[in-house]
Amino acid sequence: MKIVIANWKMNLLSAEAANFCQAFKAGYSPKPGCEIGIAPPATLLREVSAHLAGSGVQVYAQNGYFEQKGAFTGEISMGQIKDAGCHGVILGHSERRHIFGEMDENLVKKLKAAWECELMPVLCIGETLTQRDAGFTLDVLHAQLDVLKLTGPGPLVLAYEPVWAIGTGRVAETAQIEEVHAFIHDELLRLWSGRGMEVPIQYGGSVTPENFAGILKVPFVAGGLVGGASLDPAKFLKLAEQAQAAI
């Protein structure tokens, strides 16, 4: 199974999102075994869900809060995300962790809240350049994956995104991706036994149509989480087709 998700981050206005969806849908044919998703900003969730209805493309939120409702100004709940027509929610993106101080402890609650609302969480993990250069990559990932020990098993997509490769144009080398994906696969087995094998592991970090086919050949890479290249419908279509060809 392959899964490719566009993370639009804080980009696109209503009319631009409509044009994107129209252009993407015109070229896209779903294929069993390959899921495609788009994660627009919160203001566009409902309308992008409507644009994509019946296309087979799923909509994800970029973040969500664990409480169901109440005095949490600026947050949106998993129930509200579901109500806007979403299939899932990205959690623990490195920009949430490093710019907004997202903590692993909150991620445990967010994962459980997503499952309660029948949303598919996409949990992002990854090391910074300082951590990699100091030789701590696998320790950092091990610690980040520990949230899964606390939640127990459930439906999940995991995204390995080395922080130094996100939005930098510097994609991780094949050998680096291979080492980490094999490690994450083993960790998932250790944490969740057989259920761990059901979790697709995406790669994220400067994915483009030029490098994606090679990345998809790496063992245990089950697709991509894509930022910059996902803002252009023609490029995102190529990425979707490459993932379909790799099933």
Which positions lie near ligand PEP, rule CB under 6 A? 7, 9, 161, 166-167, 204-207, 225-229
CB of 124 to ligand PEP, least distance (A): 7
The two structure tokens encoding residue 216: 């998809």
Residue whose CB is nearest to ligand PEP in the complex, by number: 227
CA pair distance 185, 226, nearest whole angstrom? 21
Where do we find the tokens 């919160």? 42
Name which of 160 and 192 has its Cβ closer to ligand PEP.
160
CB of 178 to ligand PEP, least distance (A): 18
Q: Check the CA dihedral 215-163-135-91 and report its sign.
A: negative
Half-sphere exposure (Cβ direction) of 23: Cα atoms closer than 13 Å: 15
- Residue 93 known to be catalytic: yes
For residue 182, count other CB atoms closer than 10 A to its CB.
Answer: 14
CB of 7 to ligand PEP, least distance (A): 4
- Residue 161 known to be catalytic: yes
Name which of 123 and 229 has its Cβ closer to ligand PEP.
229
Nearest to 214 by CA among 180, 179, 188, 245: 245
Catalytic residue among 161, 181, 187, 241: 161
CB of 69 to ligand PEP, least distance (A): 28
CB of 5 to ligand PEP, least distance (A): 9
Name which of 9 and 195 has its Cβ closer to ligand PEP.
9
CA pair distance 227, 22, nearest whole angstrom? 19
Name which of 125 and 229 has its Cβ closer to ligand PEP.
229
Catalytic residue among 93, 95, 181, 187: 93
Contacts for 34 with CB less than 8 Å, ≥ 6 apart: 1, 2, 3, 4, 223, 240, 243, 244, 247
CA pair distance 78, 163, nearest whole angstrom? 26
Name which of 59 and 192 has its Cβ closer to ligand PEP.
59
For residue 82, count other CB atoms closer than 10 A to its CB.
Answer: 19
CA pair distance 86, 59, nearest whole angstrom? 5
Residues noted as catalytic: 93, 161
